[in-house]
Amino acid sequence: MIRSSLAPFRMWPPLALGLAWLGLLGLIPNRAPAADPPQGRRPNILFLFTDDQRADTIHALDNPTIQTPNLDRLAQAGFVFRNTYCMGGNVPAVCLPSRTMLLSGRSLFHLKDLTPDAPTLPKSLRAAGYLTYHHGKKGNSPHQIHRQFDQSHYLTSDDQERRSGYPGREIANDAIRFLRGYQKDNPFFMHLAFANPHDPRVVNPEDRSRYDEHSMPLPQNFQPLHPFNNGELTIRDEALAPWPRSPKEIRRHLTDYYGVITHLDAEIGRILKVLEEIGEYDNTIILFSSDHGLALGSHGLMGKQNLYEDGMKVPLIFAGPGIPKGQSDAFAYLYDIYPTICDLVGAPIPEEIDGQSLAPILRGKAEGVRDAVFLAYRDVQRAVRQGDWKLIRYPQINKTQLFNLKDDPGETKDLADDPRYADRVRGLMALLEEQQRVFNDHQALTSEHPQPAEVDESFFRKNIPTKAKKRSR
């Protein structure tokens, strides 16, 4: 379903001629569709990509607490996909498969087939005549995809940058140097892979003071303890705050998290300002997203090693020439970004990739590109979403959860054991098995020797120190 967004901060140049009038429920009748691929000089592309940023951390997208004026500007002038997901991960460092999926266009269980000569986003855009530039965190890809950019830079130290108090500044400074020296002979593709707001989260006092730690709202689905063993309760990320989680501790983490995002937003604003100064703002498609979400107290968890909405849903914004103003509830994966960019600028979409272009949605020619979302994390969690219904399966403990996301967006009311929804559970389990076949996932959904599901405070005392660990990946 496509919905209207807030009033734009500024208007983009004229879009494609004509208006899309589609008589579908929820479609905005006056929304101009995305323009067809350009016939002349292709637009530049600026892709802003953060680390560990939840989908609900943009002020203009229903978060009244956080301050993100520059992301608000993009969201209000552009197009927002409200149901975008990282498919998951086969390792605890979910950022690694997430970023590889993003740049290769391949789904999680097809990454093992990725070879050095496989198509990638930088390769495709270089072949289309783009000057390609990357600056970001280290360890983004086991296949060294970032070496395929014309210019590629890594942060001096991810940890040092995160502790600097000025998150994103090193990347922004280098991006600004590139833009000021840009010769305009070819359009550019700039991929900025920020290392924030991943922990350790250190922010300067000015940005942190924008938030009152004592009154910071807790997540609606805050819990002191996760109610059962999800298979990853003893991992490093879950030791970043003491068990049981206290409101005071979670508020401290959220204050740091919001402060980092607010400063990162300011660095993004510096880049956008320079784009305007060099006369390229109106000729640049701007994307914003993140590699995955983060729990930060939701469901009693801290990390991203879970398949709740907080862990796998990400923001996704397109803004710029040829992009309409609006929002969509269509299901999208991060790896759809690769073919979408190619489609928007008229570059060929490789047949080998799994991603689906979202451009038909932007052009008003489709309501969606898939009717279900499949999520996976290691061998301990699987999930499927169709419409408002979501099922999560924990194969190692033979447990199932069922949520109605329309009535319960925080996933706090598990309906799996309610006899009234037995048919719904059976139907979604069958869909989950079908999605496993589609994506080449061979994980059994039931264990013959299940592990104990029950946990209490003694479990955490035995497995994790009750004081938060202060080390960082």
- The confidence score (pLDDT) of residue 162 equals 80
Give the pTM.
0.89
**Residue 420 pLDDT > 60:** yes
CA-CA distance, 42 to 37, in Å (whole number)? 8
Confidence of residue 30 (pLDDT cuts 50, 70, 90): very low
For 257, the token pair is 């998290």
Confidence of residue 6 (pLDDT cuts 50, 70, 90): very low
Element (H, E) at 386: strand 381-386
Angle between helices 95-104 and 337-345 (to 10 degrees): 30
**Residue 346 pLDDT > 60:** yes
Closest listed residue to residue 289, CA positions, set 178, 191, 145: 191
- The confidence score (pLDDT) of residue 142 equals 59
CA-CA distance, 241 to 392, in Å (whole number)? 25
Residues 6+ apart with CB under 8 A from 425: 391, 400, 402, 416
- How would DSSP label each residue in 233-292? TTSGGGGSSPSSP-HHHHHHHHHHHHHHHHHHHHHHHHHHHHHHHTT-GGGEEEEEEES-
Rounded average pLDDT over 318-331: 97
Confidence of residue 205 (pLDDT cuts 50, 70, 90): very high
**Residue 180 pLDDT > 70:** yes
**Residue 137 pLDDT > 80:** no
CA-CA distance, 12 to 35, in Å (whole number)? 12
50 DSSP β-pair partners: 290
CA-CA distance, 417 to 425, in Å (whole number)? 9
Q: What are phi and psi of 177, to 5 degrees?
A: -60, -45
Closest listed residue to residue 224, CA positions, set 125, 129, 300: 300
Q: What is the largest CA-CA distance in the chain?
A: 66
For 31, the token pair is 């929304």
For 405, the token pair is 């996301």
Contact indicator for 469, 236 with CB cutoff of 8 Å? yes
Confidence of residue 145 (pLDDT cuts 50, 70, 90): confident
**Residue 13 pLDDT > 50:** no
SS3 sequence, 21-90? CCCCCCCCCCCCCCCCCCCCCCCEEEEEEECCCCCCCCHHHCCCCCCCHHHHHHHHHCEEEEEEECCEEC
Tell me whether strands 188-193 and 399-404 are parallel, antiparallel or unpaired.
unpaired
CA-CA distance, 40 to 56, in Å (whole number)? 37
CA-CA distance, 264 to 262, in Å (whole number)? 5
Torsion of CA 457, 459, 465, 471, to 10 degrees: -110
Contact indicator for 432, 391 with CB cutoff of 8 Å? yes
Asked which of 2-16, 86-100, 258-272, 384-398 is least confident by mean pLDDT, the reply is 2-16
Residues 6+ apart with CB under 8 A from 248: none
CATH fold match for the domains 2-10+18-32+42-371 and 375-463: no
- The confidence score (pLDDT) of residue 126 equals 97
- The confidence score (pLDDT) of residue 462 equals 72
Rounded average pLDDT over 141-167: 78
CATH of 2-10+18-32+42-371, one of 3.40.630.30, 3.40.720.10, 3.90.550.10, 3.40.710.10: 3.40.720.10
The string of pLDDT tens digits covering residues 245-265 is 999 999 999 999 999 999 999
**Residue 470 pLDDT > 50:** no
- The confidence score (pLDDT) of residue 57 equals 98
- The confidence score (pLDDT) of residue 21 equals 28
CA-CA distance, 245 to 226, in Å (whole number)? 10
Q: Higher-confidence residue: 199 or 82?
A: 82
- The confidence score (pLDDT) of residue 399 equals 98
Rounded average pLDDT over 395-412: 98
Q: What are phi and psi of 143, to 5 degrees?
A: -100, 10
- The confidence score (pLDDT) of residue 48 equals 98
CA-CA distance, 436 to 432, in Å (whole number)? 6
- The confidence score (pLDDT) of residue 155 equals 74
**Residue 56 pLDDT > 60:** yes
Q: How many residues does the chain have?
A: 473
The answer as to CATH 3.30.1120.10 being correct for domain 375-463 is yes
Mean of the per-residue pLDDT values for the chain?
89
Confidence of residue 465 (pLDDT cuts 50, 70, 90): low
Contact indicator for 464, 232 with CB cutoff of 8 Å? no
**Residue 189 pLDDT > 50:** yes
Other C-beta atoms within 10 Å of 295: how many?
Answer: 25
Rounded average pLDDT over 220-227: 96
Tell me whether strands 381-386 and 389-394 are parallel, antiparallel or unpaired.
antiparallel
Other C-beta atoms within 10 Å of 400: how many?
Answer: 17
Domains of the chain, by residue range, sit at 2-10+18-32+42-371, 375-463
- The confidence score (pLDDT) of residue 26 equals 30
**Residue 143 pLDDT > 80:** no
**Residue 101 pLDDT > 50:** yes
Asked which of 144-153, 322-331, 346-355, 403-412 is least confident by mean pLDDT, the reply is 144-153
- Look up residue 7 and give its DSSP letter: P
